[in-house]
Structure 1
Amino acid sequence: MSKGIKLVSGVALLSLAIAGCTVQPNNTTSNSTKEASVTQPKSAADYLLLAIQERGNKAVELRLKAADILIREKRFTEAANSLAVINIAGITPTLAFNVVATQANSLLEKGDVVAALNRMTDPDLPKLSNAQSAELALLKAKAFELQKNPLSAALVLSDTDKNLALDRQHDIHNRIWSLLTQVDTETLVASSFANYGFNAQGWIELALAMQQNHDLASQQAAIEKWLTLWATHPAKLNPPDLLAALISADLVTAERILVALPFSGALKEPARIISEGIIAELKLRESKGLTAPELQMIDTEQLSSADDLVKHAEAMKADLVIGPLRGKLIDQLAKRNDLAIPFISFNQTDLTTDNLFELDLGSDQDINEVVARASIEGHKQFALITPAATWGARLADDYKAAIEASGGEIITALSYEVNPELSNQVSALLNTDKSAGRHKAIRDALGEKVEFDERPRRDIDAILITALPSDARQIAPMIAFHFAGDYPIYASSHLFQGDFNPSRDVDLNNVQFADIPWLVNPTGELNRSLTLERPDTASRLGRLYALGSDAVRVYPYLTQLKSSPLVTIQGETGALSLTSTNRFKRTLTWAKFEQGTPLLLGAPKIPVEPLSLQSEQTSQTELN
């Protein structure tokens, strides 16, 4: 019992010390014990108890030491409260800054963004040094990022150049650019008319120039114009990595290209479509006055190994090999460390080597896009629907990994089978079968008719689905039938057949999905010309025309793409960037079915939670 009393007393003392109350020493405590506690403080409580016995700057120093300990122990609320009692008007400028910065950081760590921003704009804050101004700007930027306000974060950072050494400037410029790429074009245009000052205006116009020109070639031209207009801007003198790559790198040209695909055997049809996409892209370039390379084809089914392919490329003095498609040959290429020219392959490998690039239509990228958008739009608890097949199980694993990485959770999952019991499967997923069971039990117990509304489960906030087109057209209306139509549905590209058919796809209304621009936004010049010549461009296999086209499209920009994952080129299979493993990441286009027709969607709708200023009641603390 005595130990429990001592623990409560210690908590009470720490609470009083945080609040700045004077704690009277126990008369029975010896002088030697008191002196030891004063001269050898070890815990946050020790420092705070000492602080209440001091005045002025000395008391502030002790409270800062206590706050540092509390922050290291991740007790952020206590750290913030321990400094809240300090009036910074009556202490030295350095201490005043340290109090504000430490308390603001603690508030940000515990998620109280508004209180942190208020603290950093304290009217009693003295004139800051360059280093202090920069540190406070970084904290403000962090606060705005937590508020999902990348523009304000970038504006705060844009004014720190004069306060930073050159090496830190470069990191800040990369961060500013990363933030501005998250701002939509409409907001940037509106901001360009505001009077934010020279530095901020230059950054905004640079971001606009990049967003309004999606192709790397036009982006380079836009950057050259910007550099002329903003000759003294910090971003020109110390450019972020993306800008530096676009300024310095030349386009790569190819005189001879070898297309290595399985033109015979089981994959001959995919190989034909990919090769026709390659040829069509080269013809389009030639029609615009660009030099067309010499093209040679080789059937990889006739090769015994990747060594034969490399020897053939060397013999024809190829500058680029497009292919192969088969995983076995790609794995063999990946084991080599002597590839002298780039190979753009169409499948994945677990190995990496220089000059081997992967441009594929892997479903894992679709899954990542689906989960990312759902998470950005505020959803964390998911119902997952995938086919009861080997490929469906593999995608379910991809969903699980992506959802866990995003901080979400799969609450319930269905591996569906297409049979007469499909509606019951969906009902079990949504728990409406249990709702109906409860109704039957109540009705039987009362012996009379009972008013009843079937209700789905309430522990999910979105539904994620991967299903083939015909299956999806059955499942989507079943979700609505079981009273779950209010939940947003996010789907992978598998549910879209490829062509626009409103009468067929009306049952997919309100389902939003990610797919390649070639199919959901078929307005490109290449797409229009091939559609006149080929009947299958708007189909599942039609995606392969886009794949061949993009292999030609990315090659001239490999140097820039390799320089930074932020560099992108708009392709027919998505906005393409290059990962550290030389795999092309595809950012897809989003659409939503309305009246059976896919309509393009804009950027994700980020939920804005109402912010309330939490009162700082220093006498109330959270103790672990």
Structure 2
Amino acid sequence: MDRQPHPGQALHGNTLRASALWRGARTGTMLLVIMLLISACAGIPRSMDDAEDRLAQAQALEEAQEYQQAADLYLEIAQGLRATPRARVQLEALEILTREDAPPAQRDRAGQLLEEIDARRLEGDEPARLDILAARLAWLEEDPDTALQRLPENPGALPDHLARQALEVEARAHAARADWIQAVNTWDTLGARQPDEDHQQQIYERLWALIQERDRDTLEALREQARSPATRGWLDLGHVAQTTPPSPRALERALDAWRERHQDHPADPLFLERLREQWAAYSRHPDHVAVLLPLTGRFGSSANAILEGIVAAYYDTPREERTTLRVYDTGDQPEANWTQYEKAVEAGASLVIGPLERSAVNRFARESSLPVPVLALNRAETRDSYPDTLYQFGLNPEDEAIQAAERAVLDGHQDAVVMVPRTELGDRLHRAFEARYEALGGLVRDVQFYAPEATDYSDTIIQGLQIRDTRPTHRRRPSQDGEADREEPRYRSDVDVIFLSGGPRQARLIRPQLRYYQAGDLPVIATSHIYSGHADARADADLNGIVFADIPWLLDHANPRPELRETLDDQLSNISRQLPRLVALGFDALQVSSLVEHLAHRPGEYHQGLTGRLHLDEQRRIIRELNWARFIEGEPRVIGVGNALINPLGDAAW
């Protein structure tokens, strides 16, 4: 049975075996010790010279990486020896059979051999070495708890070569248990025990890789838990790497502050210099950005709102970092986007923002390669692969439905009724919500498509919730506390949440009608479509209690740039002021255009934009984590950010 690597096992593909220094030390020493023991034994069937030759042959095979033959020869030699020398030769075989790259059959043999070795015959440091090999085998067998139990109690008191082996097993076992603080601390201790700078750097490389694999929230928590100054320094540097904007000047300020806090830290100067190199490589602002938008087509209002956001981001950028910006109108013909793209490339564009229409994005996605990177403002149809330089960004409504499903499950809801408009968008939202919700273990009990233009949604509510009594006079039942009577719920008992989508007008009508049918206590989770984007406590009072996802730009206490919104509200055109989410998309698009390469090379990092926390998935699609808000007294109040890593299911269409 094949064994899969477990967390912390394969940090750079390095094999877990004794260092070259240790091998060199034990080659001569162990040979001498075993020879002396053999010479003291009576009744040995082979001569002293023969035994010495066979041991030397086994060690030569081991050094030549002929591990199976070396182990077989050690075990063959051991069979002809008495107790004490036999245990020591078996220990040599066990060393080989517990390599990280040993095949499963060798590990199985190692487990058997571990039971056969008579530990009472071992002397000096040999019992500790046996414990380390037993711990190593347990870790390889994906049992980190046993690995930690089998290690010597005080590895720091062992000779350096054994201490290093013990600490390496300990570090990997802690990582396998996701005990990141102990793992980082142990790797750092191991680095300090290395005999030279080359070996020390190898250990610190593993430590740094472990830190970089953690996401930002995990690093934040670990920094608060760290007690060791060295561990705090490593985690603090990881935090710098994940939170510093891709500007060499910003990085230098962050590194100066880090160096003040962590003087004489082993990460300095090597890993600081590496960050400088990465920032220099991935922080280059495009010097010429072309924008492809259908400014005069049927999507003209949307396109102009996006363009106003792009222009706002341009003037928000420090003058010395501003790029050349050239806008191309693609009109009503999606195929014009490719023609304009070629013109932009000929004119020297180093990055292109657009196209907006989904059909045009599909055209770009079919190319095997793109000569100039493209930041599309929509998602292409799902494909096995995309051009390496195609990045996809957009306000995809399916993302909201997916996050609503995740939110419902995280809140403990299991059974949902879906209420969406009878439109193409409503169908897409329903399908995205249902697919994600049921993938997470929930169940959609019913789906109701309502007429968007209606004013009476009683049929939708009665059928979806199976209202038992539609009379306006309500039955009442005594409350348990005896203080007052409560209206008896009349909706089906197998539903505990409603997923709702619709515009502000529909939501303001549906919510009171739910209360009318005594379903007002049912939690309602909605998409951003229910909120106009402009606070109106009187008009939105009927939305009280609804939880919905939206971009931080529109939510007080979540907006990263509140002063910018105040400024733009006075500068935007009347139409764009009514499309604030698209303005935010344009603003983020220009900012992200200089970050995509940085984000692509640093998995787990995100950019806090106006449209959400933005990060790249493996297909170079920009994923938005939205904020959650609840209507209280007619106003949206922020209650959280994001749920989990989004796994987009649908695609937006214009």
Calculate the TM-score normalised by the size of structure 2: 0.62
SS at match of 2:538: helix
1:339 to 346, 351, 370: 370
2:511 to 470, 476, 482: 476
1:224 to 242, 255, 260: 255
2:286 to 226, 251, 254: 254
Corresponding residue number in structure 2 for 1:466: 501
State the structure with more CA Rg: 2
**2:394 pairs with 1:360:** yes
Report the Cα distance in structure 1 between the residues aligned to 2:326 and 2:542, rounded to whole angstroms. 45
Corresponding residue number in structure 2 for 1:415: 448
1:388 to 414, 419, 422: 422
**2:282 pairs with 1:282:** no
Summarize the alignment of residues 138-537 of structure 1 with structure 2, pairs less than 5 Å apart: 153-161=179-187, 162-163=189-190, 173-179=208-214, 181-183=216-218, 191=224, 196-206=227-237, 209=240, 220-221=251-252, 223-225=254-256, 228-229=259-260, 230=262, 233=265, 247-285=279-317, 288-301=319-332, 305-350=336-381, 351=383, 352-405=386-439, 407-418=440-451, 419=454, 422-433=457-468, 453-454=488-489, 456-457=491-492, 459-521=494-556, 523-534=561-572, 536=574
SS at match of 1:249: helix
Distance change in 2, residues 1:513/1:142 (3 Å)? farther
Q: CA deviation at 1:254?
A: 3.4
Q: CA deviation at 1:314?
A: 3.0
SS at match of 2:505: helix
Kept after mapping to 1: 8 A contact 2:434/2:444: no
Kept after mapping to 2: 8 A contact 1:509/1:593: yes
Corresponding residue number in structure 2 for 1:572: 610
Higher relative contact order (CA 8 A, sep 6+): 1
Summarize the alignment of residues 41-190 of structure 1 with structure 2, pairs less than 5 Å apart: 126-127=153-154, 153-161=179-187, 162-163=189-190, 173-179=208-214, 181-183=216-218
Report the Cα distance in structure 2 between the residues aligned to 1:368 and 1:403, rounded to whole angstroms. 8
SS at match of 2:317: helix
Listed one character per residue, the Cα deviations across residues 408-428 of structure 1 (whole Å, up to 9, x for unaligned) are 212423323145763353344
SS at match of 1:386: strand
Q: CA deviation at 1:353?
A: 0.9
Q: CA deviation at 1:366?
A: 1.6
> Which shifted more, 531-540 or 395-404?
531-540
Distance change in 2, residues 1:421/1:245 (3 Å)? farther
Q: CA deviation at 1:138?
A: 5.4
SS at match of 1:601: strand
Count residues with an aligned counterpart.
486
1:543 to 581, 585, 590: 581
Distance change in 2, residues 1:104/1:483 (3 Å)? farther
Corresponding residue number in structure 2 for 1:622: none
AA in 2 matched with 1:409: G
AA in 2 matched with 1:257: V
Corresponding residue number in structure 2 for 1:559: 597
Report the Cα distance in structure 1 between the residues aligned to 2:348 and 2:597, rounded to whole angstroms. 20
Report the Cα distance in structure 2 between the residues aligned to 1:396 and 1:470, rounded to whole angstroms. 19
SS at match of 2:611: coil
Report the Cα distance in structure 2 between the residues aligned to 1:238 and 1:484, rounded to whole angstroms. 62
Kept after mapping to 2: 8 A contact 1:469/1:495: yes
Report the Cα distance in structure 2 between the residues aligned to 1:482 and 1:105, rounded to whole angstroms. 59
Report the Cα distance in structure 1 between the residues aligned to 2:519 and 2:203, rounded to whole angstroms. 51
Distance change in 2, residues 1:541/1:202 (3 Å)? same
Q: CA deviation at 1:549?
A: 1.4
SS at match of 1:360: coil
Q: CA deviation at 1:130?
A: 5.3
Kept after mapping to 2: 8 A contact 1:306/1:332: no
Q: CA deviation at 1:253?
A: 2.8
SS at match of 1:160: helix
Q: CA deviation at 1:234?
A: 6.3
Distance change in 2, residues 1:212/1:307 (3 Å)? closer
Alignment gaps of 5+ in structure 1:
1-56, 58-71, 73-90, 109-115, 146-152, 441-449, 607-624
Distance change in 2, residues 1:429/1:290 (3 Å)? same
Kept after mapping to 2: 8 A contact 1:105/1:139: no
Corresponding residue number in structure 2 for 1:15: none
Distance change in 2, residues 1:511/1:137 (3 Å)? farther
Distance change in 2, residues 1:297/1:154 (3 Å)? same
Listed one character per residue, the Cα deviations across residues 539-563 of structure 1 (whole Å, up to 9, x for unaligned) are 6622211122122111222321221
Kept after mapping to 2: 8 A contact 1:303/1:309: no
Q: CA deviation at 1:294?
A: 4.5
Listed one character per residue, the Cα deviations across residues 110-145 of structure 1 (whole Å, up to 9, x for unaligned) are xxxxxx7xx8987997446655655566565665x6
> Which shifted more, 250-259 or 296-305?
296-305
Kept after mapping to 2: 8 A contact 1:342/1:356: yes
Report the Cα distance in structure 2 between the residues aligned to 1:142 and 1:516, rounded to whole angstroms. 37
Kept after mapping to 2: 8 A contact 1:184/1:603: no
Distance change in 2, residues 1:588/1:537 (3 Å)? farther
Report the Cα distance in structure 2 between the residues aligned to 1:486 and 1:303, rounded to whole angstroms. 47
Listed one character per residue, the Cα deviations across residues 59-95 of structure 1 (whole Å, up to 9, x for unaligned) are xxxxxxxxxxxxx9xxxxxxxxxxxxxxxxxx97757
Distance change in 2, residues 1:96/1:508 (3 Å)? farther
AA in 2 matched with 1:400: E
Calculate the TM-score normalised by the size of structure 1: 0.65
Alignment gaps of 5+ in structure 2:
1-86, 88-103, 105-121, 156-162, 192-198, 476-484, 645-654
Corresponding residue number in structure 2 for 1:581: 619
AA in 2 matched with 1:159: N
Corresponding residue number in structure 2 for 1:54: none
Q: CA deviation at 1:279?
A: 1.7
SS at match of 2:286: coil
SS at match of 1:159: helix
AA in 1 matched with 2:363: Q
Report the Cα distance in structure 1 between the residues aligned to 2:574 and 2:530, rounded to whole angstroms. 17
Kept after mapping to 2: 8 A contact 1:368/1:399: yes
Distance change in 2, residues 1:311/1:393 (3 Å)? closer
Q: CA deviation at 1:595?
A: 0.8
Corresponding residue number in structure 1 for 2:638: 600
Kept after mapping to 2: 8 A contact 1:489/1:510: yes
Distance change in 2, residues 1:236/1:529 (3 Å)? same
Q: CA deviation at 1:519?
A: 1.8
> Which shifted more, 532-541 or 254-263?
532-541
